[in-house]
Structure 1
Amino acid sequence: MSYREESYYKPKAYSQITTHGLDASKHSFEELKNIWRQTINDEFHGICFSMYEDGQEPGDDISFEQVERRIKKLKPHVKAVRSFSCIEGNEHVPVAAKKHGLTTLVGAWLSDDKDANEEEIEGLIALAKAGNVDVAAVGNEVLYRNDLSLEDLLGYIKRVKEALKGLNIPVGYVDAYYEFSRHPELVEHSDIILANLYPYWEGCPIDYALGHMQAMYGQVVDAAQGKPIIITETGWPSEGGGLKGAFASPESAMKYFIDTINWTKQNDIPIFYFSSFDESWKTGDEGDVGAYWGLWDKHENLKF
């Protein structure tokens, strides 16, 4: 990998411009759809990559051709792509993204399966040394799921940092926003803070969701000790039910996307929106809404 004089993601002084978001009640469905289309067509920072077509699920080995086809769909709309794993075809995501000029946030998926973790960590290191990684994420919501102890997780983070020393690739760990306040050791051992912010999963009504996300982000800023921050996931499902005061609907999904992208652009906050394509396999733990987080539907067409 060639030497880069400075990192793509730089620390900055954080001062948040608070916005109130779009009043969807003042717009017809068609007007809302037009604003959504304009927002998605006016290139935003990044998106979480969805791997699986109908009939596919984690554990299946996905081809480079399928990955590249989806990367081409995303390229006109985003500058960066986030992947979640380094095995079973997921390793193709950063390679295809780099081929098409996109920046990458590459994740190693960690769980309580230590053998699989070895494959993931070695895969992440290999992708980074081959020049395909701009930011390395060692694990995703491992503490939230109670899959590993904090000590084990920090061991993996330190191992990747040591392996990538001199490559100028920031290394971090992805989890829910509050985990960085609960575990300051995560901040200490991370070059960059990678936080997931989901007002929907906290049952927040859509009219208050942007403000709630801004408060979540503020908590991450307080915990980050001046280190750079990326919002690695946020989104809203377009159908499938609800949770407390949060309800999935096309109107809510469009409003949340418009509000989120406008606010992060105003504040120059890097974000990976969740997610790119609807994935039918995700209806397990998340219920019916799991299949409807995409900006594109499962047929790879823009949803609205």
Structure 2
Amino acid sequence: MSYRNEEYHAYNGLDFKEHSGIDFSTYSNTDDLKKLWRATLNKGMHGLCFSMYEDGQKPGDIITVEQVKRRIEIIKPYTQWVRSFSCVEGNEHIPRIAHQHGMKTLVGAWLGSDKEDNEKEIEGLIQLAKEGCVTIAAVGNEVLYRNDLPLEELLEYIKRVKEAVPHIPVGYVDAYYEFSVHPELVALSDVILANCYPYWEGCHIDGSLAHMQQMYGQAVHAAQGKKVIITETGWPSEGGSLRGAFSSEENAMKYFINTQAWASKANIETFYFSSFDESWKTGDEGDVGAYWGLWDKNEKIKYL
């Protein structure tokens, strides 16, 4: 997800004042903050978005079982769930290997404007689900945000997967506000899968947790009683800035600590973005795109 200048349909119906975040003024230096970050990471998290590509790789490259296995083994001690974004070009290895390691999976079929590619993704998702490797199925990721498909076609893909694997919860991932303006999506989905990024809305780090909570609150309001899962949230550790949002190691650590503390206390299922830095992600997102990981591009844990 990247910045887009538009109205966000802000919702103010939930009060999260009791979860206002950590008082970082008591952490007098960077070393103390790093210790708190590592302690938070070591406690583990609900879910983590899987970063597929090594330095020099990009979407379209075929990824091996060995590469996926190595990265799954790195993140396994820290997360219960793993989220994948596609079912082709080696992405299909992610839910299979995660399942072998006893992890739960949120498995996505990547949909776009190419109908042949969409067919491969949908068939791949259905196959993985029938193998028992899918805990939750996500039919598409930010398709409406990118304007890749009309709503009617997206709904047909969701219906198809629901009919093929009726024993598995099926949803669709998009920016939190899309569910407010597309009640048809909510009605068809078993679970609401919302991406929440204060950074991409130019929010200063000091208000980022409260802003993310309001994003979640808007999705809850739109969900009409259905479960809401935060499928992506994170903060870049390097790169540029967007209005009041600045990328830095300190801000990335603070955001991770706050979101994990709040999600744990409020029992909100959250997938953090992301596991590893990926150098290829510098197109629409600019230089910050390459620095969203908890591990760097060389698979070394950050902030040691």
| TM-score, normalising length: structure 1 | 0.93
2:19 paired residue number? 19
The residue number in structure 1 matching 2:7 is none
Q: Which residue of 2 aligns with 1:159?
A: 160
| CA distance in structure 2 between the aligned counterparts of 1:15 and 1:187, rounded to whole angstroms | 23
Q: Which secondary structure state, in structure 1, belongs to the residue aligned with residue 280 of structure 2?
A: helix
Q: Which residue of 2 aligns with 1:261?
A: 260
Question: How much has 1:279 moved relative to structure 2?
Answer: 0.2
Whether 2:80 is the aligned partner of 1:79: answer yes
Whether the 8 Å contact between 1:136 and 1:171 is mirrored in structure 2 is: yes
CA distance in 2, matches of 1:130, 1:53: 27
User: Matched residues in 1 for 2:248 and 2:149: separation?
Assistant: 35
The alignment partner of 1:151 has SS state of: helix
In the TM superposition, what whole-angstrom CA distance separates every residue of 1:125-166 from its partner, at most 9, and x where no partner exists?
Answer: 00000000000000000000000000000000000000012x
What's the CA shift for 1:19?
1.3
Shift, 1:15, TM fit: 8.5
The residue number in structure 2 matching 1:203 is 202
**Contact map agreement 1:277 1:298 (CA 8 A) in 2:** yes
Q: Secondary structure at the match of 1:162?
A: helix
The CA deviation at 1:43 is 1.2
Q: Read off the aligned partner of 2:209 and give its amino acid letter.
A: L
What is the distance in 1 between the residues matched to 2:250 and 2:18?
A: 22
- Scaled by the length of structure 2, what TM-score is found? 0.93
Match in the other structure for 1:38: 39
**AA at the equivalent of 1:170:** P
- 1:22-81 per-residue CA deviation (whole Å, 9 max, x = no partner) reads 233432100000000000010110100000001100000000110010000000000000
Backbone CA RMSD of aligned residues: 1.1
Q: Which runs of 5+ in 1 are unaligned?
A: 1-13
Q: Which residue of 2 aligns with 1:217?
A: 216
Cα distance in structure 1, aligned partners of 2:37 and 2:256? 7
Distance 1:80 1:293 in 2: 18
- Is 2:91 the counterpart of 1:90? yes
Match of 1:272, SS state, is strand
Mapping for residues 90-239 of structure 1, pairs under 5 Å: 90-165=91-166, 167=167, 169-239=168-238
In the TM superposition, what is the alpha-carbon distance from 1:91 to its structure 2 partner? 0.2
Unaligned runs of 5+ in 2: 1-13
Relative to structure 1, the CA distance from residue 17 to residue 73 in structure 2 (aligned partners, 3 Å threshold; closer, same or farther) is farther
Which AA in structure 2 matches 1:21? G
Distance 1:76 1:201 in 2: 29
AA matched with 1:36 = W
Aligned residues: 289
Contact 2:16-2:210 at 8 Å conserved across structures: no
Corresponding residue of 1:9: none
Equivalent-residue separation in structure 1 for 2:17 and 2:165 (angstroms):
35
CA contact 1:18–1:214 (8 Å) conserved in 2 = no
Deviations 1:165-223 (A, max 9, x none): 2x2x1000000000000100000000000000000000000000000000111001100
Looking at structure 1, the residues matched to 280 and 248 of structure 2 have their Cα atoms a distance apart, in angstroms, of: 20
For residues 213-268 of structure 1, what are the alpha-carbon distances to aligned partners after superposition, in whole Å with 9 as ceiling and x for unaligned? 00111001100010111100000000101100000000000000000000000011
Percent identity of paired positions between Structure 1 and Structure 2 = 68
**Residues of 2 paired with 1:197 and 1:219: CA distance?**
10
What is the deviation of 1:21? 1.4
> How far apart, CA to CA, are the structure 2 residues paired with 1:220 and 1:102?
26
Measured after TM superposition, the shift of residue 17 of structure 1 is: 6.8
Distance change (3 Å), C-alpha of 1:255 and 1:201: same
